[in-house]
């Protein structure tokens, strides 16, 4: 697993730079310019400095980690453990990324101490590896999600699961002391229970401050606290824009711009209860030098509309992303690396027809409708979220129409099925019978929602908004408060008649075409007739129950929501970023959702890759 010595080391000066003895900041000189060097506690080794640069850097460290989420924090901690000085650059005003909003369900297996403690003795790295590359596993929607996994990357993952379980525990993460199970996660393999669940047993302090109240806080905060106490330096509110090269083209650092989260229309920074970065600066751009390596842990590209459409042209701007507006997956890691020769990998995975990669809106009447993330008015990012949204308890209470005002599917249908243990009955690894035994249940609600069928056979990329249409009787049944902060006036309309409602819907910024009042009226009239007959002869919704005929009438935004990124930069087993020929790009690493070749959701994959990247970046010979 250790990185081999790279050729570029010959270009590195052996000139002594800094000798430090304590955590802190020491000023040195590189190429004639003043720099601030960041040292891990008790670091007594010398740090070589590239001789080829005459560029000015504001800060320098052995390893620069970009992004402080599920991959970045483990990367920083492991690099530090290997004796490197580490600087972590984070675009947000706080660490955590998607991970701090997550459920804290971590599928680590291969024979972890927790599995062994609870008698799960059949798991091993080999079993885990074979599960995750099993060609025969087919999801309920037909997607063979493990078939396209990169074998080298999965092998490295499987071989490091137990080490990373122990590493997380050693760095403060607490797992609920129960038998690993299959609950709360997806795509975790078939042969053994592997899902562990983080908990927090310490008292409530600002240390466990959570931006959303999600359990993922108990994954992130302990890692953050350990990283801070051991000497990782944090530079918050800085967005890496590009990688910096020397005159030979070798990557030697990053450039980042100051991007404080300001309250909308104001110059007041968003309140953050979390401890702030220990490098406190507000200069517009900074350049950070990396003596050994840069780890891109920026969390993927789902929030970048142009980038995500490389993989599915339908994913136009009307689809929000789970985790927004706390954290954005803007493809900055991928783009910075691709400018310097990196390529994408594993692109058969992505926002495809499997599991929660794209979901039916869980909250309606808001732009941020991810099913497992309902923003509270108390949330620090609520000024950006604008509304909590309405949760639909019973889809008999609404009809869903597309931007033309037409129904498109049975509203009670779910999003794509997940690949968990029970989907494949009688699972036997590598057996062609697995696909045959799958309970085939194609779910096409989202495909129908993303299809735009315009007048005269015209069509566009992306389906446009989806609108939940209902009346005041439904509001009473659902016990909804149809006013802010529960709904966002930019994504929620009400009127005393359907024609006026259609006019209001047409003002929404994502309507690619106006909604015809006649179409909406006809749709509701037809649906009401299905309630009379008890049969939905268009989409077979089970026994439609309620007519929509009691003013006021309402329209609530309910477009699908994208979840995570499942393809990204080409990396090898050491998490080195590679070019099109598979040659590692010196000093550049990637981990987590920014990296490609691994079609598994979530925290385990990201933490393991962060650990591998941190180890190798720190080990780079100079
Ligand atoms: C609501 C929700 C629930 C989830 N629940 C689970 C679960 O229970 N189990 C599970 O396994 N997975 C879960 N996931 C998925 C999991 O959280 C993610 O897969 C994981 O956090 C991704 O890790 P990452 O390090 O790649 O990205 P992130 O954790 O998102 O971290 C990326 C960080 O990089 C920063 N960044 C981005 N660009 C830049 C830049 N240019 N410069 C500086 N910083 C930058 C971001 O601000 C962010 O802090 C959930 C996700 C969500 C949104």
Give the residue from 283, 331, 330, 248 showing the smallest Cα distance to 52.
248
Q: Is the pLDDT of residue 507 over 70?
A: yes
Q: Which helix (H) or strand (E) holds 528?
A: helix 517-533
State the CB neighbour count (10 A cutoff) for residue 572: 19
pLDDT of 433 reads 87
Cα-to-centroid distance, 98 and ligand 1 (Å) = 3
* Separation CA 137–CA 304 (nearest Å): 30
Cα 437 to ligand 1 centroid, rounded to whole Å: 34
The protein residue with its alpha carbon nearest to ligand 1, atom 37, reads 298
pLDDT at 492 over 90: yes
Non-local (6+) Cβ contacts of 508 within 8 A are: 465, 490, 491, 493, 557
Condensed to tens digits (0 to 9), the pLDDT of residues 518-532 reads: 999 999 999 999 999
- Look at residue 200 and tell me whether its pLDDT is greater than 90: no
CA 583 / ligand 1 centre spacing (Å): 27
Residue whose C-alpha is closest to residue 487's, from 548, 413, 550, 558: 558
Tell me the pLDDT tens digit for each residue of 243-259.
999 999 999 999 999 99
> Does ligand 1 have an atom closer than 6 angstroms to the CB of 373?
yes
Name the closest-CA residue to atom 4, ligand 1.
102
Distance, in Å, from the CA atom of 332 to the CA atom of 347, rounded to the nearest integer, reads 18
Ligand 1 centroid–CA 375 distance in Å is: 17
Contacts of 211 (CB under 8 A, 6+ apart): 94, 96, 100, 101, 326, 379, 380, 381
356 Cβ below 6 A of ligand 1: no
Average pLDDT, stretch 462-488?
97
Is 144 touching ligand 1 by the criterion CB < 6 Å? Answer: no
The Å distance, Cα 173 to ligand 1 centre, comes to 17
Q: Which two tokens stand for residue 520?
A: 């909406």
Q: 37 in ligand 1 pocket by Cβ < 6 Å?
A: no
Q: Residue 36: is its pLDDT beyond 70?
A: no
pLDDT exceeds 90 at position 121: yes
% of the chain residues with pLDDT over 90: 72
pLDDT value, residue 427: 83
The whole-chain average pLDDT of the chain stands at 88
69 CA distance to ligand 1 centroid (A)?
A: 5
- What is the tens place of the pLDDT at every residue in 560-618? 999 989 899 999 999 999 999 999 999 999 999 999 999 888 999 999 999 999 999 99
pLDDT reported for residue 29: 28
Q: Which two tokens stand for residue 236?
A: 């918050």
* Residue from 173, 298, 561 whose mutation best tests the ligand 1 pocket (most atoms within 8 A of CB): 298
CA of 565 to the centre of ligand 1 (A): 9
pLDDT tens digits for 69-95? Answer: 999 999 999 999 999 999 999 999 999
Neighbours of 172 (CB within 10 A): 17
This prediction has a pTM of 0.91
Q: Concatenated DSSP letters for 430-447?
A: T-THHHHHB------HHH
Q: Examine the pLDDT at 46 and tell me if it is beyond 50.
A: no
* Ligand 1 centroid, distance to 474 Cα (angstroms): 36
Q: Is the CB of 217 under 6 A from ligand 1?
A: no
* Whether residue 566 has its Cβ less than 6 Å from ligand 1: no
- Angle made by CA atoms 314, 316, 320, in degrees to the nearest 5: 115
Residue 204, C-beta contacts closer than 8 angstroms, at least 6 positions apart? none
Ligand 1 centroid from CA 252, angstroms: 26
Give the number of the atom of ligand 1 that is nearest the alpha carbon of residue 563.
53
Would you say the CB of residue 596 lies under 6 angstroms from ligand 1?
Answer: no
Q: Reply yes or no on whether the pLDDT at 475 is more than 60.
A: yes
Please give the number of the atom of ligand 1 that sits closest to the Cα of 323.
Answer: 53
CA angle 502, 506, 507 (to 5 degrees): 125
Q: Which value, in Å, is the radius of gyration of the alpha carbons in the chain?
A: 25
Cα 460 to Cα 180: distance, rounded to the nearest angstrom: 46
* pLDDT at residue 416, as a whole number: 86
Structure tokens that stand for 72 in this block? 């970045």
The 8-class DSSP code of residue 10 comes to G
Q: Atom 49 of ligand 1 has which residue's CA nearest to it? A: 97
What are φ and ψ of residue 114, in 5° steps?
A: -70, -40
What is the pairing mode between strands 105-107 and 174-175?
A: unpaired
Among the listed ranges 275-279, 342-346, 490-494, which one has the minimum average pLDDT value?
275-279
Confidence (pLDDT) at 554: 98
Q: Which of 120-134, 345-359, 480-494 has the lowest mean pLDDT?
A: 345-359
pLDDT at site 355:
81
Residues linked to residue 235 through DSSP beta bridges, in sequence order: 89
Q: Which atom of ligand 1 is nearest to the CA of 241?
A: 41
Ligand 1 atom with least separation from CA of 564: 19
How far apart are the C-alpha atoms of 236 and 65, rounded to whole Å? Answer: 12
Residue the block writes with tokens 């099109």: 580
Q: Does residue 568 line the site of ligand 1, with CB under 6 A?
A: no
Residue 160 has pLDDT above 70, yes or no: yes
| pLDDT tier at 278, thresholds 50, 70, 90 | confident
pLDDT digits (tens, 9 = 90+) for 532-565: 999 999 999 999 999 999 999 999 999 999 998 9
pLDDT digits (tens, 9 = 90+) for 282-303: 999 999 999 999 999 999 999 9
Let me know the angle formed at the C-alpha of 15 by 9 and 18, rounded to the nearest 5 degrees. Answer: 110
- Atom 24 of ligand 1 has which residue's CA nearest to it? 299
Distance set, CA 35 to CA 62, 231, 287, 288, 622 (Å): 13, 18, 10, 9, 20
**pLDDT tens, 355-400?**
888 999 999 999 999 999 999 999 999 999 999 999 999 999 999 9
Residue 39 has pLDDT above 50, yes or no: no
> From the CB of 592, is ligand 1 less than 6 Å away?
yes
Q: How far apart are CA 420 and CA 403, in angstroms?
A: 34
Q: Which of 64, 65, 67 to mutate to test the pocket of ligand 1 (most atoms within 8 A of CB)?
A: 67
Residues 466 and 478: their CA atoms lie apart, in Å, by: 20
Cα–ligand 1 centroid distance for 586 (angstroms): 25
């Amino acid at each position: 697993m250790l990185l081999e010595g790279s050729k570029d080391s010959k270009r590195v000066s052996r000139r002594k730079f800094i000798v430090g003895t304590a955590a802190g900041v020491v000023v040195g000189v590189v190429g004639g310019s003043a720099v601030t060097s960041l040292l891990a506690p008790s670091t007594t080794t010398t740090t070589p400095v590239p001789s080829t640069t005459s560029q000015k850097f504001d800060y320098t460290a052995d390893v620069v980690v970009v992004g402080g989420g599920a991959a970045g924090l483990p990367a920083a901690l492991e690099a530090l453990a290997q004796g490197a000085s580490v600087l972590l650059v984070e675009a947000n005003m706080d660490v955590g990324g998607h991970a701090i909003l997550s459920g804290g369900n971590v599928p680590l297996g291969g024979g972890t101490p927790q599995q062994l403690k609870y008698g799960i003795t059949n798991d091993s790295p080999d079993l885990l590896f074979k599960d995750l590359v099993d060609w025969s596993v087919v999801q309920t929607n037909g997607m063979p999600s493990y078939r396209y996994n990169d074998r080298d990357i999965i092998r490295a993952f499987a071989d490091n699961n137990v080490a990373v379980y122990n590493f997380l525990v050693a760095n403060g993460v607490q797992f609920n002391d129960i038998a690993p199970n299959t609950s709360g996660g997806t795509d975790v393999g078939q042969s053994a229970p592997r899902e562990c669940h983080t908990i927090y047993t310490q008292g409530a302090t600002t240390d466990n401050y959570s931006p959303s109240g999600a359990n993922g806080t108990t994954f992130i905060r302990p890692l953050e606290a350990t990283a801070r106490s051991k000497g990782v330096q944090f530079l918050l509110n800085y967005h890496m824009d590009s990688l910096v090269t020397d005159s030979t083209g070798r990557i030697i650092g990053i450039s980042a711009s100051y991007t404080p989260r300001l309250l909308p229309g104001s110059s007041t920074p968003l309140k953050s209860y979390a401890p702030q970065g220990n490098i406190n600066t507000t200069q517009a751009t900074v350049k950070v030098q990396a003596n050994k390596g840069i780890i891109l842990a920026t969390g993927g590209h789902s929030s970048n509309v142009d980038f995500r459409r490389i993989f599915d042209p339908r994913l136009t701007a009307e689809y929000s992303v789970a985790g927004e507006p706390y954290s954005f997956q803007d493809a900055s890691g991928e783009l910075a690396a691709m400018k310097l020769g990196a390529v994408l990998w594993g692109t058969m995975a992505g926002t495809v027809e499997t599991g929660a990669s794209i979901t039916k809106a869980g909250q309606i009447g808001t732009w941020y409708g991810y099913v497992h993330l309902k923003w509270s008015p108390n949330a620090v990012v609520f000024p950006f979220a604008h509304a909590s949204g309405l949760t639909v308890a019973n889809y008999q209470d609404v009809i869903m129409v597309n931007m033309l005002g037409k129904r498109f599917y049975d509203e009670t249908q779910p999003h794509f099925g997940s690949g968990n243990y029970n989907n494949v009955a009688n699972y036997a690894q590598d057996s062609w019978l697995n696909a045959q035994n799958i309970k085939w249940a194609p779910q096409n609600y989202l495909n129908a929602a993303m299809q735009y069928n315009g007048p005269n056979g015209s069509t566009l990329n992306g389906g446009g908004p989806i609108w939940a249409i209902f009346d005041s009787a439904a509001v009473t049944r659902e016990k909804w408060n149809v006013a802010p902060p529960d709904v966002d006036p930019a994504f929620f309309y009400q009127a005393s008649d359907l024609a006026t409602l259609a006019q209001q819907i047409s003002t929404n910024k994502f309507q690619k075409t106006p909604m015809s009042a006649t179409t909406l009226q006809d749709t509701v009239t037809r649906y009401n007739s299905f309630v009379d007959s008890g049969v939905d002869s268009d989409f077979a919704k089970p026994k439609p129950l309620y007519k929509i005929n009691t003013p006021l009438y309402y329209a609530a935004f309910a477009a699908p929501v994208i979840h995570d990124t499942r393809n990204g930069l080409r990396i090898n087993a050491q998490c080195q970023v590679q070019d099109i020929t598979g040659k590692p790009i010196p000093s550049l690493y990637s981990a987590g959702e920014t990296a490609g070749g691994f079609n598994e959701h979530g925290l385990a994959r990201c933490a393991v890759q962060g650990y591998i990247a941190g180890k190798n970046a720190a080990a780079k010979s100079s």
